[in-house]
Amino acid sequence: MKTVAIIGSGVMGSGIALCSAQSGYETMVYDINTDALNKAKSYITQLIDTSISKGKSTEEQKINTLAKLKFTNNFEDLKADLILEAILEKLPLKQDLFQKLEDQNSPNCIFATNTSSIPITQIASVLKHPERLVGVHFFNPAHLMKLVEIIKGAATADSIAVTAFEWAKSLGKTAVYAQDSPGFIVNRVARHYYVEALKALEEGVADFETIDRLMESIGFKMGPFRLMDLIGVETNYSVTSSMFEQFQFDPKFRPSRIQKQKVDAGFHGRKTKKGFYNYE
């Protein structure tokens, strides 16, 4: 595998692209929105500069990494050995995307989805060759977090899953296999880090800053509200809504009305300068 394409230039997509380019892969970043691509370039450069300032990288490595990156809003450019999507957590969008990719790529192209909650089998059900689709789930921030879940759908070929596993390892990640179940391993367990924190806020147990301080004081690197702002409040809400539906509307996965209000107001966190916290 030599070439990788990442679809979606948000925080997650940009982080994955950075890891890929740093590991020597020719990496393309696609987004329909030109402004989003420009923000992704700035964000990736900022991440590298921060790494240099901490003595973890060099100017030479920065030059080499940026040389491996290409940014495009032309869908026809999306041809690679591995194409990974990091778009909105909506089943129809993902299915439509992979159907289009299947039409313009060689039979050897591997398709990967960074879905947090939607079963791989469900996404692959509309494809001519569902055996080519595998789940490759990174965690935010992708350039720092080591874990990557590799998920086989019912039709995913063993060789495709193994290749995805080895690719994740080549990025310096800790890859693990997970069953094709809603939320897989981590999101199923960690969803309640957000959901219960939001319930405590709704019930007036404490304000969000206090909840964050308490969780950080017992060892979590980020409280749930700071983490939602980093991931994207709308992204987090979308994943919770998806899991609520996937688990047949089990109340323990119920999305929060407070979080929905933030989404409706456009307060998506760091990316919009306002979420639960103000970043103006």
Please identify which of the residues 51, 105, 137, 238 carries the catalytic annotation.
137
Q: Which two tokens stand for residue 167?
A: 């690719």
Residue in 200, 246, 203 with CA at minimum distance from that of residue 224? 200
Consecutive H or E run containing 205: none
Please identify which of the residues 116, 117, 140, 238 carries the catalytic annotation.
116
Give the separation between CA 173 and CA 16, rounded to whole angstroms.
11
Q: Which two tokens stand for residue 103?
A: 């039409």
Please identify which of the residues 9, 149, 241, 256 carries the catalytic annotation.
149
202 is a catalytic site residue: no
| DSSP assignments along 219-239, one per residue | T-SS-HHHHHHHH-HHHHHHH
Please identify which of the residues 187, 236, 242, 256 carries the catalytic annotation.
187
187 is a catalytic site residue: yes
Give the separation between CA 22 and CA 143, rounded to whole angstroms.
10
102 is a catalytic site residue: no
Instruction: Tell how strand 147-152 and strand 133-137 pair up.
Output: antiparallel
149 is a catalytic site residue: yes
Residue in 133, 115, 241, 252 with CA at minimum distance from that of residue 186? 115
Residue in 124, 148, 143, 146 with CA at minimum distance from that of residue 134? 124
Q: What are the catalytic residues?
A: 116, 137, 149, 187
